[in-house]
Chains A and B, each alone.
Chain A
Amino acid sequence: MLSEAGSDLAMGSQSAKRRDATGPSRPFRRVLPYVEIGALVVALVLPFALGDRTDLVTLATNILILSMLAISFDLCWGLAGIMSFGQALFFGVAGYAIALVGRDLDFSDLWATLPLAMLVGFCLAALFAAFLLMGRKTPSIIFVAFGTLTGSYAAERLVSGWQYVGAGNGLSSVKLLKLGAYEFVEGDAFYFLALGLLLLVYLGARYFKQSQLGLVLAGMRQNEERLAFFGYRVQLFKAVLFSFAGMVAGLGGALYSYHQGFIGPGNMGPGLSTTAVVYCLLGGSGTLIGPIFGTAIVEGLSYALSDIAAIQHIWPVVLGFVLLVVVMFQPRGIVGLLVSDRERIGSYGRRRSDG
């Protein structure tokens, strides 16, 4: 079963081969680092440019937090080839966990709650991976997709009927995130905290992607069986990446819960999970920077258009059309317009010094 990402990969390696065959090639121009640095610079100056528009800073912080969810999905689909329709599950459960720690233990110190959220996301994802991915028989990609979808759906139903966690109303007035005596409220400080954490997540994911592990994953996306015949334990690699993605989603969920001061059943359901899919595919899956762009575009447009009642009503329809158009005509996403296939797929391990 050749995935879309896999067929792209095949295309990329073919074009690289053609280049080699035509003799000495032009020096390979890399675009992606400039895109990444540009995005970082924009993100750094944004709060100063926005000045006193606090609503926009809040929106930007929200985008950074949701970007973690989008990156978490990209790790599953773009890198490991796992279609996860339940990425919001880890996001939501971690958000609930820190909200409950705040409510019942009256504790919200950054140095402990954020690692706790990551641990919750990691363990839950590892549990899912153990059930869905591991085992004697190789599970079909469809089974994994439905397994994650079902998990997310079941969790949403379970939580909306459970009084202890607030049932359908969710948990509101979540305790503020603290560092020592300092409390993070919405605003510049929270923005830079989210940006710093997103940067760490991004660098970690980027390291994963470009390491030898990333090369194995790329091979798996192209032909899983062949890699298995080489002796790689394919499902184990997938499980590792899935757990890491769950950890990232958990971190995002905790920040979301602290930032919004609210977490509800809808934050772990298939609705948010598929929104993460839209973020990632619109931006360009497998590029890591793409999902961030996708999140910014979707959330930014949604905010800009929310004043117009007519459009707000049909906004989900617009999202549906966007997803359909992307899937049908531009599966490489927006980043695919800027960056060549060869660069989008990337190079692995250490680069030769002679280039």
Chain B
Amino acid sequence: MRLGAVTMGDEVKLAFDLLAFISVMVLIVLGLGIIASMMGIFNFAHGEFVLLGAYTVYIFQSSGWSGWAGILAAPVVLAVVGLVLERLVIRRFYAAPIIAMLGTYAIGLIIRESVRALLGGQYESIDEPLSGVFTLLGFNFSVWRCVIVLTTICIIAATWLFLSRTSLGLQVRGALENPNLARACGISTSKLYSMTFAFGAALAGLAGALIVPLYQLSADIGTRFLVQAFLSVMLGGVGTFEGPVLGAAAVGGMAAGLPWIVIPVLADPLVFVIALAIVKLRPQGFITQGRL
């Protein structure tokens, strides 16, 4: 009886850890997936957008503001950064996805190493705006992880409602389906692309701001998720909204769950091998048709 209670507790803890990590992955992948789907650009600088979001929170905290102000400011800052980058650089790469990878990689390198120089190679810890745990049915849950899970659910819902219920969302879907026809109908796809890129960057900024209390702030906070995030997008399928979210859930679940089954050193590569094998067998992803 007692033994049963212990394993039961472990299972709940594992499930909660899985859920929290999946939320982090989804949060990071959402922006990446939206940019990849809309514009056909795999943004190698996405990890650095996450880093910039985290860094914004750090700046706010070190200049005496509350953590909440930083979390609110991060998406705005990143939206502006994304808009400027799209206008100056990304715009040139629409026709050439591989060149876009190289260009965004260069941007990411510049941002990451600049921040590394600014931080002086230090690790900075950021306080959770809501710290502590609460107890439910005898189990302890970290408050901040719950906030992340809830925020992720809200963002998914809001993005889905925006895409499926508003007229702007309809234009976005139209431009995704057939850019030429959308232009012929008087939709400015160039403006839509700018907005999409800014939106994706803002989501990355928010993700960075939310997850930085869980991990210490270092220049590599974003890149550690980048390969997993790319695989999630490919796994879920480019061109849909649900695809990358499902892909992120699958990859995040595997990345958090496999270390419980196999030795941790093998877990990481195993996730990649499984994900690549699935993509190889189903290159079009989980979801083949945009169903919004």
Contact = CB atoms under 8 A, between A and B. Distances in A.
Interface string A129-167: 001100101011111011101110111011001100000
A150 B280 CA distance: 13
B98 A320 contact: no
Given A139-B283, A146-B234, A328-B92, A316 B105 contact: no
Contacts of B279: 143
Contacts of B103: 324, 327-328
Contacts of A316: 109, 112-113, 116
- Classify the interface of chain A: helix, strand, loop or mixed: helix
A31 interface: no
A215 B70 CA distance: 57
- Classify the interface of chain B: helix, strand, loop or mixed: helix
Contacts of A281: 102
A147 B95 CA distance: 22
Nearest to B116: A316
B137 interface: no
A314 interface: yes
A323 B96 contact: no
Nearest to A153: B227
Q: How large is the interface on A (under 10, 10 to 19, 20 to 34, 35 or more residues)?
A: 35 or more
B227 A320 contact: no
Interface string B104-127: 011111101110110000000000
A145 B98 contact: yes
Contact of A157 (B42, B269, B273, B283): B269
A64 interface: no
A42 interface: no
A48 interface: no
B99 A320 contact: no
Nearest to B101: A145
A317 B280 CA distance: 35
B272 A323 contact: no
A147 B113 CA distance: 25
A314 B117 contact: yes
Interface string A320-339: 11011001100100000000
B124 to A, nearest CB: 18
A223 interface: no
Contact of B280 (A135, A149, A277, A314): A135
A162 B280 CA distance: 28
Given A131-B276, A316-B116, 12 more contacts: A83-B98, A131-B280, A139-B283, A141-B98, A143-B283, A151-B272, A316-B112, A317-B110, A317-B117, A324-B89, A327-B99, A327-B102
6 contacts: A142-B98, A158-B266, A161-B265, A281-B102, A316-B109, A320-B108
